[in-house]
Amino acid sequence: MKRTVVAAAACLVASVACAQSSVTLFGVVDAAVTYTTGSGPAYTSRWQLTNSANSFSRLGFRGNEDLGGGLSASFWLEEGLQNDTGTGFASNTNNQLNGTLGAGTLTFNRRSTVSLSSSTWGELRLGRDYTPTFWNTAIFDPFGTGGGIGANQLYFSGLGGLAAPTGTRASNSVGYFLPANLGGFYGSVMYAAGENVSNSTLPPATPGALPVSNKNDGNYGGVRLGYQSGPVHVSIATGLTTYATGDLRVSNLGASWTFEQLMGLRIMGEYYVESLGAVDGRGGLLGFSLPVGAGEIKASYARYVRDPVGNVPNPTSSKLALGYVYNFSKRTAVYATVARLTNSNGASQALGGVSTSPNHASTGGESGMRVVF
Amino acid sequence: MKRTVVAAAACLVASVACAQSSVTLFGVVDAAVTYTTGSGPAYTSRWQLTNSANSFSRLGFRGNEDLGGGLSASFWLEEGLQNDTGTGFASNTNNQLNGTLGAGTLTFNRRSTVSLSSSTWGELRLGRDYTPTFWNTAIFDPFGTGGGIGANQLYFSGLGGLAAPTGTRASNSVGYFLPANLGGFYGSVMYAAGENVSNSTLPPATPGALPVSNKNDGNYGGVRLGYQSGPVHVSIATGLTTYATGDLRVSNLGASWTFEQLMGLRIMGEYYVESLGAVDGRGGLLGFSLPVGAGEIKASYARYVRDPVGNVPNPTSSKLALGYVYNFSKRTAVYATVARLTNSNGASQALGGVSTSPNHASTGGESGMRVVF
Amino acid sequence: MKRTVVAAAACLVASVACAQSSVTLFGVVDAAVTYTTGSGPAYTSRWQLTNSANSFSRLGFRGNEDLGGGLSASFWLEEGLQNDTGTGFASNTNNQLNGTLGAGTLTFNRRSTVSLSSSTWGELRLGRDYTPTFWNTAIFDPFGTGGGIGANQLYFSGLGGLAAPTGTRASNSVGYFLPANLGGFYGSVMYAAGENVSNSTLPPATPGALPVSNKNDGNYGGVRLGYQSGPVHVSIATGLTTYATGDLRVSNLGASWTFEQLMGLRIMGEYYVESLGAVDGRGGLLGFSLPVGAGEIKASYARYVRDPVGNVPNPTSSKLALGYVYNFSKRTAVYATVARLTNSNGASQALGGVSTSPNHASTGGESGMRVVF
């Protein structure tokens, strides 16, 4: 404690230098007017002001210190914002299904890490961070994983892949990242702890049954490897989360090619498989983004197929999205997106918080603005 | 998502420039020692350390970017503070009576917006923001709407006007503001969505009754127009919130005149009406503020009359408040306030968290300090 | 309200000056990998990523303004971080056992104050702040009161001393601090309000019994006096919290001596007594810290004895901790700690969230890194 007081006092005396050399305040505020509707007998529709339709709204504090000899230390604290209402997001403290804490309030749910980095051996990172299996779902979707109707993340959540506690980030993680400058190759591995005690058990399913250990509930392990150089970007990742109610496995492969000769057209695709306990699902995505002056046109087609549910074979959903972003500057943009989602084999996925009848379509449009700071 | 990563990375490299050019950290910390008491058989009294008795405590982050051609983009994130306890405030996410989220924790409940502004056509603002019908209750009260015993906001809450989810701010709002430089005229209009789905209904009041739609529950619309030039300031506002349990209408008119020849004396008044379902209430306020050296004397008399409740006619409350603020600087002040509230026709309003018997008075005093940064 | 708007506007125009002259953003991010285990039939063990094992993780905003004539105004807003999960800490709003608010979310629970300070008469501080009886438990423990297995704070919590709502901090406090430059003497006194209304009562323990007043529930008063000059530091503190269920009294005495001739070796000790209602407990600590190059070795031995519980006499716990901290810079350090805790007379204290059988030992080790900004 004394150490901290001393260090903080040193920082206070030199507060200007402190603030300028070591801490960066950053963020995104993104809001859009969104209309979505389902179809069929059970349809609903809705007008909303939404957030994060182009990029996730956030507020963060980060800094790094050069320790000499190629070594540096850094921290990163980033909270998610629901700026349509002024609220924040819960974090999940143990990577388990019961670990959500802080619904609607500000937490550093997006990232909360401290790192030691070396130019030769890479980076060791401790805290709450993105899982290796998340990144490909964002990088190879022209709409990212934003909260808007363009993003295709919902397809990745059929079995809970992207919606699982470890789908995007994990708490209690130790991560290792390869150093930069490996000729375009990069990679990372993460282990995250559910932190149950050694004799933790589930309540018996039936009275008198033997208790089942859940000491590994919420443990996550994952790895990602990629190559990015010139026009090429390809990346593969796989991860396993141990859940007491059935393990979750997620693997994905993404690739993109940027054609500088074709006005900077970038085409991209992703294929992924997920399984939760004994049920499998798989999906894919094709998309492109095309710079046009100060703007950008983007589009994607995605499809998700799940194992049969009961005697209905392979519920399937498909989605087409088309968007335009106009960049006033590097920081400020306005945008518009339209999307249409179709269902078959009993699926009833719908856009943006509405309902659609099984095998019926859902459509929507939205327009908003985004500021990065 | 990719776009953001790129933009944020650009910001990181130029972090000093980023921090200096675009983000302002600001706030208020205000604390006071407060004693309040009721009277009559059921009275209670209380000593408290309170917050925001002179100005609402807050912490905020805001910034703007000049886009050229008279256009600019900006964001504003502001959280309320209860600095006597280190806690924050809930926000209301859907402008409905059931929408409160995050009690006691930090949220950007005060304001959370992103804007596009033009010197010629004005400002378009999206997010959680003040309602047009709020402002006159603050600007034309010499004690503002602070949490202290001087402010008269409680009179505005007889039917829920200022205490309603949309009384001060609304989530999911789209606002438009007239440009500056209209010769002293200003104005704004806001629409905010309750965001219920199209087939949302209330539970039937009696079993077997037909369900009643509440798809518009929490929708707010309001407008404000004003004129401020030289010594004169006058403003009028009206708004309607659709509640499933009965609509809330609020209208108010405020005016003030500053006499530079009389040491800068500013006299002000406000008149307002509110109705909730079939019940009406109305109130008024007269007050002044008078600069005296580095200090300021201020006083107000307010009165609120509500429609009869049962067979008790027109519960009525009146309040007299007197305060002194000494400004050490533009940012730092100490202050003291005394107030006395009287009740008749069955009313039992009391100051600062105590109880008073019907038709009995409540009195209080407080003294504190305020820092603006 | 008007005053604030004016002041904030002035601040906005001069935002760079504002940010540089008056607000300091500061914090600590500290994370460690921790393994702890108990022993005996009922033991558990656990691997965790923990926070704050060297210094408590935090994010804060503070500033001060020179008002001239030796007078200054300042504010301090500091939130605790659980950076292993991205969450925060609750605050306690009324210093009572039922006053916890905001579990897991960001609040300014660590400190939330506004002050007026004079070079001649000292400092008056209002808000949520550390209690006078807290400081000696941190300053005279070589491991501070951090969340790690080295810190001995758990011994101070046998009867709730350090774990009580007022054990570390109090809300609704008015504090006074002696001015600096009293020849090494310093001191402070604090009163904090539970803020119950005057006629507040506990529910009767048995039906028909007379209600018992709890109007003073959560009121705290405490005082601390110390002397620090050259190698010597000694401090004494005492405090009383009124609880409806039995008052809590805490007193402690700490001292340290730094031997500059012996490489800067600092030896330290603390003795304390606490009582909750009719039950007493007492403890002591001996420790040292020794700078070695860029590192520091530290160790402590602590012991806590409580009054008999039933017919088991004096449950007693002892703890030995040894640690090493390597400082890359003033801000960045890596560290490792091992600790062993032993129990007798029925005690079953254990380290870091595991269980140990009565009279059995608990052991643990941890290693982590800490960044101060």
Show me where the domains of chain B are located: 23-372
Asked if the C-beta of B73 comes within 8 angstroms of chain A's C-beta atoms, the answer is: yes
A23·C28 Cβ contact <8 A: no
B24·C12 Cβ contact <8 A: yes
d(CA A270, CA A287): 9
Task: Kindly report the three-state secondary structure assignment for every residue of chain C.
Answer: CHHHHHHHHHHHHCHHHHHHHHCEEEEEEEEEEEEEECCCCCCCEEEEEEECCCCCCEEEEEEEEEEECCEEEEEEEEEEEECCCCEECCEECCCCCCCEECCCCCCCCCEEEEEEEECCCEEEEEEEEECCCCHHHHHCCCCCCCCCCCCCHHHHHCCCCCCCCCCCEEEEEEEEECCCCCCCEEEEEEEECCCCCCCCEECCCCCCCCCEECCCCCEEEEEEEEEEECCEEEEEEEEEEECCCCCEEEEEEEEEEEEHHHCCEEEEEEEEEEEECCEEEEEEEEEEEEEECCEEEEEEEEEEEECCECCECCCEEEEEEEEEEEECCCCEEEEEEEEEEEEECCCCCCCCCCCCCCCCCEEEEEEEEEEEC
Least confident of A291-300, B113-122, B237-246, C202-211: C202-211
Asked if the C-beta of B128 comes within 8 angstroms of chain A's C-beta atoms, the answer is: yes
Residues of C in contact with A80 (CB under 8 A): none
Nearest to C186 by CA among C227, C222, C154: C227
Asked if the C-beta of B33 comes within 8 angstroms of chain A's C-beta atoms, the answer is: no
B197·A88 Cβ contact <8 A: no
pLDDT at residue B12 tops 70:
no
pTM, entire model: 0.93
pLDDT at site B88? 96
pLDDT at site C6? 28
Structure-block tokens of residue C105: 């979310």
pLDDT at site A207? 82
A146·B173 Cβ contact <8 A: no
- Among B29, B58, B100, B235, the residue to mutate for chain C (most C Cβ within 10 A): B29
pLDDT higher at B350 or A8? B350
Q: pLDDT of A232-267, one tens digit each?
A: 999 999 999 999 889 999 999 999 999 999 999 999
- Among A44, A46, A83, A326, the residue to mutate for chain B (most B Cβ within 10 A): A83
Nearest to C176 by CA among C161, C155, C192: C192
pLDDT mean across residues, chain A:
91
Cβ pair A312, A345 in contact under 8 A: yes
Task: Provide the β-strand partners of residue C74.
Answer: C64, C115
pLDDT at residue C10 tops 70:
no
B61·A25 Cβ contact <8 A: yes
Residues 6+ apart with CB under 8 A from C117: C64, C71, C72, C73, C74, C123, C124
**Nearest-Cα residue of chain A relative to residue C144:** A1
H helix count then E strand count, chain B: 3, 22
Which of C75, C91, C113 is facing B373, going by the closest CB pair?
C75
Residues 6+ apart with CB under 8 A from B307: B279, B280, B281, B314
Asked if the C-beta of C331 comes within 8 angstroms of chain A's C-beta atoms, the answer is: yes
- Residue B13's pLDDT band, with cuts at 50, 70 and 90, is very low
How close does chain A come to B129, measured CA to CA in Å? 9
Residue matched to tokens 């005279």: C140
- Among B82, B87, B96, B112, the residue to mutate for chain A (most A Cβ within 10 A): B112
Cβ pair A282, A304 in contact under 8 A: yes
The mean pLDDT value for B159-182 works out to 93
| Residues 141-170 of chain A whose Cβ lies under 8 A from any Cβ of chain C | none
Asked if the C-beta of B90 comes within 8 angstroms of chain C's C-beta atoms, the answer is: no
Q: pLDDT of A130-188, one tens digit each?
A: 999 999 999 999 999 877 999 987 666 678 778 899 999 999 999 999 999 999 999 99
Instruction: State yes or no: ipTM above 0.90.
Output: yes
* C-alpha distances out from residue C332 to A18, A77, B256, C42, C372, Å: 14, 17, 57, 39, 6
Sign of the torsion angle spanned by Cα atoms C4, C10, C15, C17: negative
Cβ pair A125, A85 in contact under 8 A: no
- Residue C156's pLDDT band, with cuts at 50, 70 and 90, is low
First to last CA, chain B: 34
Residue matched to tokens 């009121």: C219
Structure-block tokens of residue A43: 């349809």
A83·B112 Cβ contact <8 A: yes
Structure-block tokens of residue B296: 């300021």
Residues of A in contact with B62 (CB under 8 A): none
Amino acid identity for residue C35 in this structure: Y
Structure-block tokens of residue A94: 């143990």
Q: pLDDT of B47-66, one tens digit each?
A: 999 999 999 999 999 999 99
- Residue A88's pLDDT band, with cuts at 50, 70 and 90, is very high
Which of the other chains make 3 or more beta carbon contacts under 8 angstroms with chain B? A, C
CB pairs under 8 A between A and C: 191
Residues of C in contact with A199 (CB under 8 A): 44
pLDDT at site C68? 95
**Nearest-Cα residue of chain B relative to residue C24:** B25
CATH topology of domain C23-372: Porin (2.40.160)
pLDDT at residue C313 tops 90:
no
Asked if the C-beta of C14 comes within 8 angstroms of chain B's C-beta atoms, the answer is: no
- Among C18, C20, C29, C47, the residue to mutate for chain A (most A Cβ within 10 A): C29
Which of the other chains make 3 or more beta carbon contacts under 8 angstroms with chain A? B, C
d(CA B348, CA B333): 33
pLDDT at site A14? 29
Asked if the C-beta of B13 comes within 8 angstroms of chain A's C-beta atoms, the answer is: no
**Nearest-Cα residue of chain A relative to residue B11:** A373
Which of C48, C105, C325 is facing A195, going by the closest CB pair?
C48
pLDDT at site B254? 98
Asked if the C-beta of C7 comes within 8 angstroms of chain B's C-beta atoms, the answer is: yes
pLDDT at residue B156 tops 90:
no
A126·C85 Cβ contact <8 A: no
- Among A87, A100, A136, A367, the residue to mutate for chain B (most B Cβ within 10 A): A87
pLDDT at site B8? 33
Least confident of A18-22, A240-244, A341-345, C155-159: A18-22
Least confident of A20-34, A36-50, A359-373: A20-34
Nearest to A105 by CA among B288, C345, C33, C89: C89
Asked if the C-beta of A13 comes within 8 angstroms of chain C's C-beta atoms, the answer is: no
Within 13 Å, how many C-alpha atoms sit on residue C40's CB side? 19
Asked if the C-beta of B101 comes within 8 angstroms of chain C's C-beta atoms, the answer is: no
Asked if the C-beta of A260 comes within 8 angstroms of chain C's C-beta atoms, the answer is: no
Amino acid identity for residue B292 in this structure: V
